[in-house]
Amino acid sequence: GAVVSQHPSRVICKSGTSVKIECRSLDFQATTMFWYRQFPKQSLMLMATSNEGSKATYEQGVEKDKFLINHASLTLSTLTVTSAHPEDSSFYICSAKTGANEKLFFGSGTQLSVL
């Protein structure tokens, strides 16, 4: 089956620093990638949708200047949390879909802890 690789799986950083999370589709071309965040025992909240070669579409309430998303190729999307603060601590998960295939393939997630 399709594999989505997400790195790092866990990151601890100091407040004010930036963190980059990578999401790669290993054996398929991801025309669309989605970034979610998830707090403990809560649902996945969609942050943004990115299509290869175009700007990401952010959900209401998500700051595009804080959560920079780049989808430079059909196999790679990155999320950069800029000037991270403790309230940004969360589980970030990417997912990818290809063409008209409706199901999503998820990465294994990144647990971000901002001290």
Residue placing its CB nearer to other proteins in the complex, 3 or 72: 3
Enumerate binding residues for other proteins (CB under 8 A): 4, 6, 32, 34, 36, 41-44, 46, 49, 57, 91, 93, 95, 102-109, 111
Residue placing its CB nearer to other proteins in the complex, 44 or 68: 44
Residue placing its CB nearer to other proteins in the complex, 49 or 80: 49
Q: How far is the CB of 72 from other proteins (least distance, A)?
A: 21
Q: How far is the CB of 107 from other proteins (least distance, A)?
A: 5
CB 6 within 8 A of CB 76: no
